[in-house]
Structures are given as C-alpha cells and as structure tokens.
Amino acid sequence: MIDTLSPEVAWDNCLRIIRDNINPLTFKTWFEPIKPVRLDNSQLTIQVPHQFFYEWLEEHYYALIQKSLESVIGPNAKLVYRAVVEEEPGVKHPRPADLPPELAPSPFPQVRVNTPQEQPRQQRPQETTVLNPRYTFESFVKGESNQFACAACLAVANNPGTTSFNPLVLYGGVGLGKTHLMQAVGNFILARQSHKKVVYTSSDRFTIEFVEAIQNDRMHEFTNFYRNVDVLMVDDIQFFSGKEKTQDNFFHTFNALHQAGKQIILTCDRPPKELKGVDDRLISRFQCGLTTDIQPPDYETRIAILQLKSQTEGIDLPSDVVEYLARNITSNIRELEGCLISLIAHASLEGRELSVELAQKVLQNVAMVRKAQLSIQDIQKVVSAHFQINEDLLLEKTRKQEIAYARQIAMYLCKELTSHSLKTIGMHFGGRDHSTVIHAVQTIKLLVSKDDHTHRSVESIRRQLNFMSQ
C-alpha cells in the first residue's frame, strides 16, 4: 500500500491530521510552506524553506508529525528534511553529523537545467537544486539603499552578457539582499529563456568542488562544467581569500566566460579592491565591469519590506507593530525578516495578538543574543585597526582630533552593539564619565546621518564586527 502512495498524497493526508490538532495561524506559518519531495521505503522527504523551520518543527511538533506519519505511512515511517540552502557569509552550516544528511548543504552548485535528457555529459546528473524561487524582482523592495544595484541587476537580467556590466559585482553587509538580487537575475532569465544554463554557487562551494575534482581526478569534468554556462553567479567571493589554487582556477574560468560573452555576477561583503588574500590580477578582473553597493535600508524601505513580507505570509500586521519593528531593527533585512517570523510564531503558539507589546518581547530576546556576543574590547580593536591608530590611544587623555573621533565612534558602537551601561562603557575608555559617552553617541549619530565619510566608516566597522560575532 505504501508503494502506491505518492509523496504529495502522503503528505496531504498527514496535513489533514496535523491541521486538526493546531491552530490555523500556526498551520499557515509552519506547515503550508512545506513541500513533499519523495517517498521511498516509508521515508518521506519534505522540503522546508529555511533551516530554522526544521529546528522549529522538530522542537515543537515532533510528536504530532511522527504520529500523523505513522498513521498514514505505517509504523516505520520516517521524516527527512531538506532545507532550501541559503548561503550566508561566515555562517557555519550544520555538519552532516548533526543533521539528517539531506539537510546538510550540498557541496554541489545550485544548478537549474531545464531539459535533463538534453544535458551534455559534462553537466553532472546531480539532483537539481533550483534557485530559491522566492528570490525574484517582484519580492524585492526597492529603496534608496539598493536602487542602483537593483537597476543594474535588471539591466543584466534583460541582456545577460551583453551589457558592460560584466562582471556585475554587488557588495554590502550581511543580510542586505545581495543573494536575493543575484538569484532574482537568475530566476528572471530562466523564466524567459529556459534553455539558458544558469549556475549559482558560492566561493566556498566552488572551492570544495575544486578540491574534490583534484582528489578524484575529475579536473577535466569540473573545468568543462564551469566553462559551459551562460550565467555564472558566485556568492560571497570574500571566501576565496587565501585559497590560491582555487583562485587560479577561477581566474581562468572567469576569463574564458568573459571572453565568450557570458554573464558573470558576483557578491562580496566589501568592495573587491579591499579584499585581502586575493590575487591582484583577479581583483582587477572583478573590477572590469560594474561594482555597486547595497546600503542598509532606510526607515521607509524597512516599512515597505515588512508590509510586503506580512502580506506574503497572509498576516495582517497592525501598523503600530510595523512601525515599531522598522524603528528598532535598522541594520539588516535578514534580521527584520527573522523578527517578523519569530513574532508570528510567538503569536500563533501562545495564541496572542500581534501587538507592540509582543514585538517588544521578541526583540528583547534577539537583542540579548546579539549584544551578548561582542565585547567592548572587540569594538576597540576593530575601530583602532580601521583608523590605524594604537588601541591604547582610545583610552588615553589625548584630545588630538583624529583620536577623539575614533574614540567617539568606538563609544557609539559600544552603546549600540553591547548591553553595557554608559557608565561601564566610560570606564573602559580610560575612566571617562557617562556624560562623555552620551555626548559621543549623540555626535556620531548625527554625523552618520549627515556626513558620508562617517557613515561609510561606521558601516565598514560594523561589517567587520558582524563578521566577528557570527
């Protein structure tokens, strides 16, 4: 009987049982986005949109899911999760040992090829993990912070390989939409020209594959694979740093594709010219097209993002809650999204209304986690390195302007990124008074909004700190 069940029917029957046991909002949030993928030998594979879905489901609904599976599939029923893998810079992916094997990130690039029977041999017959279908231009909110990047991506999507935007390099801090925009280009192209070979990978995956190809004597296959794409997207190229042999190989792939008029899109956490441990000739290749940044979103954009996301989730989010979230989560869209989902989850699990009060509670948890990670010393270290001054000078009495400026930026970031009191922060800066810290915080806050140079410095330092705290 099991053999005759399709994964869709099996999962549908499970959902019927699950739906009867939980409230509608929970069902909508956590179960509707799941897609059944496969059913073999009583083992049902489902695809979840994020890794945290897996964690959340296991933590909260393990018993219910297991019970429903057993009643539909039989006593040996087993569930395997597969997450749509999203690469995040600096984030350590769970190791295969910790998670069901299907959840571990695949070492292969995400490839979409549309007519499998026509695949030339060099295209590996791996299971095709498609681009994340959520990442489209329609679901991307445009604002001042990403306007230019977005326009460049649209231009490339319309004319891949034939604009002067080749390569197109998007750079910016964590969670600002680089991966989303890049994949939107891929999705756009495939929707219109389904025969194109669009390959999405990250520098990390490229490296892993390269090493494996050497070990398994499959260099020829590896090289052929990458030289025969129409659009190559490589995420987070900062992780090429220090990997000389991989860089060398990538350099040649890059040149071959570029010469053949194929489109290359790259993302990076900083401007390519600031990359350390990357060969100069590669950096200069990166710069021969268009490099554009994505800045943190302004207030209006954050509001628009929250509105769009809650609409997509089918949730009616009161405007005071939208404003509260937009005012308090300023640096990163991934966090904005995470808080929104967490808020919806809390509301559904605890049967509470979506209110500012609940949002405050959710945000407190997030802030505590984030703030616990960085120390005042971390910040002093990064700030002094940025301004190339001796760290001790931040603590001394000197009023020399450039040192006072660096000190004020460090104090401002300590206030913003740690949970220490003004008094404690002052103490760590050579025993200064809390009013000095207030003055520093206010001064820099003003400068960040008015002075481009300060804005850029603070963002660059923040990026490095983000990196440290991951």
- 179 lies in the binding site for Mg ion (CB under 5 A): yes
CB half-sphere exposure, 43, CA atoms < 13 A: 8
Contact (Cβ atoms closer than 8 angstroms) between residue 295 and residue 175: no
**Interface residues for ligand ADP in 156-175 (CB under 6 A)?**
172, 174-175
**Tokens 């401002």 belong to residue:** 412
Q: Return the bridge partners of 172, or none.
A: 294
What sign results for the dihedral spanned by CA atoms 16, 85, 59, 309? negative
Minimum distance of ligand ADP from residue 172's CB (angstroms): 6
Nearest distance from residue 111's CB to Mg ion, in Å?
18
**Closest C-alpha to 149, from 108, 178, 115:** 178
- Nearby residues of 235 by Cβ (< 8 Å), 6 or more positions away: 87, 178, 179, 182, 200, 201, 202, 203, 266, 267
- Name the residue whose CB lies closest to ligand ADP: 177
Among all residues, whose Cβ is closest to Mg ion?
179
Residues near ligand ADP (CB under 6 A), total:
17
* Least CB distance to ligand ADP at residue 218 (A): 30
What is the footprint of Mg ion within residues 258-317 (CB under 5 A)? none
Binding flag, residue 178, ligand ADP (CB under 6 A): yes
Q: List the structure tokens of 135.
A: 């990442």
Binding segment for Mg ion (CB under 5 A), chosen from 173-181, 200-208, 320-328, 443-451, is: 173-181
Which amino acid, 119?
Q
348 is an interface residue for Mg ion by CB under 5 A:
no
Taking the least distance from each CB to ligand ADP, the nearer of 266 and 333 is: 333
Cα distance between residue 226 and residue 41, in whole Å: 36
Phi, psi at residue 199, to the nearest 5°? -120, 130
**Nearer of residues 87 and 102 to ligand ADP, judged by Cβ:** 87
Q: How far is the CB of 43 from Mg ion (least distance, A)?
A: 31
Site for ligand ADP in 126-145 (CB under 6 A): 139-141
Tokens of 19: 């739906």
Is 466 an interacting residue with respect to Mg ion (CB under 5 A)?
no
Contact at 8 Å (CB) between 67 and 17? yes
302 part of the interface to ligand ADP, by CB under 6 A? no
Q: Are 237 and 268 in contact (CB under 8 A)?
A: yes
Which region among 30-38, 47-55, 126-134, 172-180 touches Mg ion (by CB under 5 A)? 172-180
The distance of closest approach from Cβ of residue 167 to Mg ion in the complex, given in angstroms and rounded to an integer, is 16
| Phi, psi for residue 468 in degrees, rounded to 5 | -65, -35
Sole binder of ligand ADP in the list 35, 93, 334, 455 (CB under 6 A):
334
CA 401 – CA 230 distance, rounded (Å): 52
Q: Is 146 in the site for ligand ADP (CB under 6 A)?
A: yes
Residue 176, binding choice from ligand ADP, Mg ion, none, Cβ under 5 to 8 Å by partner class: ligand ADP
Binding residues vs ligand ADP (CB under 6 A): 88, 139-141, 146, 172, 174-180, 305, 333-334, 337
